Structure 1
Amino acid sequence: MLITTSFRANEQTIETAKALAKDLHGDYVERRKQSVKQLAMKRGDVLVVGKERFEWYQPNGEKFFFHPSSAMFRVKRLLRGEKDPLIEAAQLKPGDSFLDCTLGLGADAMTASCATGRNGRVVGIEKNPITALLVREGLNTWETGIEEADEAMKRISVISGDSIEQLKKYPDCSFDIVYFDPMFEETIQESTSIAPLRHAAEHDFDHEAAVQEALRVARKRVVLKDHWKSTRFIADSYQFHVIKRKTAQFHYGYIEKEKSPL
């Protein structure tokens, strides 16, 4: 991967790009007057470090950068006192802890952070280090104009790594809720913000092993979001209770470990 800066970058931005090149084991190149297309011809992936945001240009021509996207609609609904299907499936309450094992763009983690509040804890695991970098940076710097949303974003901790290996590091009952939103077995029409992540996503995910670790780490529930036709809701060693939604292409399922107090 090549790491460069936006045009007319200041010294701080240049130093940030050089530091990221070391962290990501990539090569820093001066931008000069080169276009991203010219740089991509040399290596493929190009990470452009700008003053306002980072942009990841992929070999297939897709461009990815952090944006709260659909999470903002969900957060606004929560702030109005309306319901969210993930929050309902997870039975999330203020002060709860939530581990998102498939962070992606962070929309679910942002919604969970809003629901769990200032006394809650939200951690997101993302296997792809570039995605993790962009989302971590975006969560810490993006300004939505809504104080509660900005605070919720900044409360999220992002971990770059394999979700199963990370789960193994946690003691029993470390989080109230452990959550998975893996790549669907069935293809559905994706939003433009999610589409660039498909080639970078984890496609060889050992779901059954992950659920077994999640059941150890969770105090209350393990929650799965998947296509309504998915075979992952049922396995030899577990079965999710599926919340069927008539008009949705995906459902939520959960395995409950203990009854939450009313």
Structure 2
Amino acid sequence: MTPLPLAVTTSTKTDAATVREARAVAQRWSLPFLSRRSSEGIAPWLGTKVEALLVVGGDGVTLWEPQGSFGFHAGMAHLRRMRLRQGQRDDAFLKVAEIVPGDAVLDCTLGLAQDALVASLAVGPTGRVVGLEKSLPLCIVAAEGLQRYDRGADSCAIEVLHADAHAYLKTLPSKSFDVVFFDPMFAKPKKAQPAFDVLRRFAEHAPLTPEAVEEGRRVARRWVVVKGARHTDDLKKVGIEPAPTSRFSDVIWGRLPALP
């Protein structure tokens, strides 16, 4: 039997509430729900019954595959938000994007929403942040994780859409967002925790194209911002000159103005 590409189940600590929540997650994303006994492990399922599993439990929604697992965690975004709340405006993303309260930001490569979380605080409750994620498993982990994250009344909610960024940009009217942001997966991965290796296997690896950037410039009112890896030509490939940054940073930033 061919394994299902993706399904939803519960954690080992199964109760009626967890089952209801897991079934709701499966329904929201049009995925099959697999019932699981409280003592039943999922290892025998992976690669045989299903290629990957979304496990719903007390810690939220976790994605499992034969090589490991990962779940949503605010991580460094939480620390960056703390600094912003303390009045520190030295966040590299916010500086290059020049995001202000009330702005509308389109994150074309949401991932686990690290930069989107920072943007949601920077734009405040009157602003808007939309995140696009092409990978369905990543999109679900991010969307479900953000639903459970206590962002506070000083941040706007992040709207998560399962969509290809270039195709979605083409559907938008010109000047729809103040800032359009791209953070494509680095072609040369740096050493990271095993969970990031799992994330990377599910992420979209198609390189950012000049055509997508031009669509972003049409949709933007002010800037298209792109993040790249240091010691690569990621930005120059799409016609962007990297901005000066700390020599200790692993990433580089650049931007282009919106089209007239």
TM over 0.5: yes
The equivalent position to 1:18 in structure 2, one of 2, 17, 23, is 23
Q: What SS does structure 2 have at the residue aligned with 1:103?
A: coil
2:87 is the counterpart of 1:81: yes
Decide whether aligned partners of structure 1 residues 115 and 206 sit closer, same or farther in structure 2, where only a CA change above 3 A counts: closer
2:64 is the counterpart of 1:63: no
How much does 1:126 deviate?
A: 0.7
For 1:92, give the aligned amino acid. I
> In the TM superposition, what are the counterparts of 1:39-118 in structure 2 within 5 Å?
39-42=45-48, 43-59=50-66, 61-82=67-88, 83-118=90-125
Q: Name the structure 2 match of 1:248.
A: 249
Between the two proteins, the alignment pairs up a number of residues equal to 251
Decide whether aligned partners of structure 1 residues 180 and 12 sit closer, same or farther in structure 2, where only a CA change above 3 A counts: same
Decide whether aligned partners of structure 1 residues 78 and 194 sit closer, same or farther in structure 2, where only a CA change above 3 A counts: farther
For 1:67, give the aligned amino acid. H
The separation in 1 between residues aligned to 2:154 and 2:212, in whole angstroms, is 27
Q: Is the 8 A contact 1:110 1:152 kept in 2?
A: no
Tell which deviates more after alignment, 107-116 or 150-159: 150-159
The separation in 2 between residues aligned to 1:227 and 1:8, in whole angstroms, is 41
2:127 is the counterpart of 1:126: no
Gaps of 5+ in 1: 144-148
Q: Name the structure 1 match of 2:178.
A: 176
Q: Name the structure 2 match of 1:34.
A: 40
Q: Is the 8 A contact 2:228 2:252 kept in 1?
A: yes
Decide whether aligned partners of structure 1 residues 152 and 186 sit closer, same or farther in structure 2, where only a CA change above 3 A counts: farther
Q: Is the 8 A contact 1:101 1:180 kept in 2?
A: yes
1:193-228 Cα shifts (integer Å, max 9, x gaps): 643310011112442221111011011000000012
Decide whether aligned partners of structure 1 residues 64 and 171 sit closer, same or farther in structure 2, where only a CA change above 3 A counts: same
The equivalent position to 1:3 in structure 2, one of 8, 16, 21, is 8
Q: Is the 8 A contact 2:102 2:127 kept in 1?
A: yes
Tell which deviates more after alignment, 241-250 or 81-90: 241-250
1:76-98 Cα shifts (integer Å, max 9, x gaps): 11111111000000011111111
The separation in 2 between residues aligned to 1:41 and 1:187, in whole angstroms, is 25
Q: Which runs of at least 4 in structure 1 moved beyond 6 Å after TM superposition?
A: none
Q: Is the 8 A contact 2:125 2:156 kept in 1?
A: no
The separation in 2 between residues aligned to 1:239 and 1:41, in whole angstroms, is 42
How much does 1:24 deviate?
A: 4.7
The separation in 1 between residues aligned to 2:20 and 2:255, in whole angstroms, is 45
How much does 1:40 deviate?
A: 1.5
Q: Is the 8 A contact 2:63 2:71 kept in 1?
A: yes
Gaps of 5+ in 2: 1-5
Percent of aligned positions with the same letter in both sequences? 32
TM-score by length of 2: 0.87
The equivalent position to 1:217 in structure 2, one of 213, 216, 219, is 219
User: How much is the aligned-residue C-alpha RMSD, in angstroms?
Assistant: 2.2
The separation in 2 between residues aligned to 1:25 and 1:137, in whole angstroms, is 14
For 1:10, give the aligned amino acid. D
Q: Is the 8 A contact 1:54 1:134 kept in 2?
A: yes
Tell which deviates more after alignment, 194-203 or 113-122: 194-203
How much does 1:26 deviate?
A: 4.2
The separation in 1 between residues aligned to 2:63 and 2:77, in whole angstroms, is 21
For 1:90, give the aligned amino acid. A
Q: What SS does structure 1 have at the residue aligned with 2:168?
A: helix
For 2:244, give the aligned amino acid. K
Q: Name the structure 2 match of 1:146.
A: none
Q: Name the structure 2 match of 1:166.
A: 168
Q: What SS does structure 2 have at the residue aligned with 1:36?
A: coil
The separation in 2 between residues aligned to 1:39 and 1:152, in whole angstroms, is 42
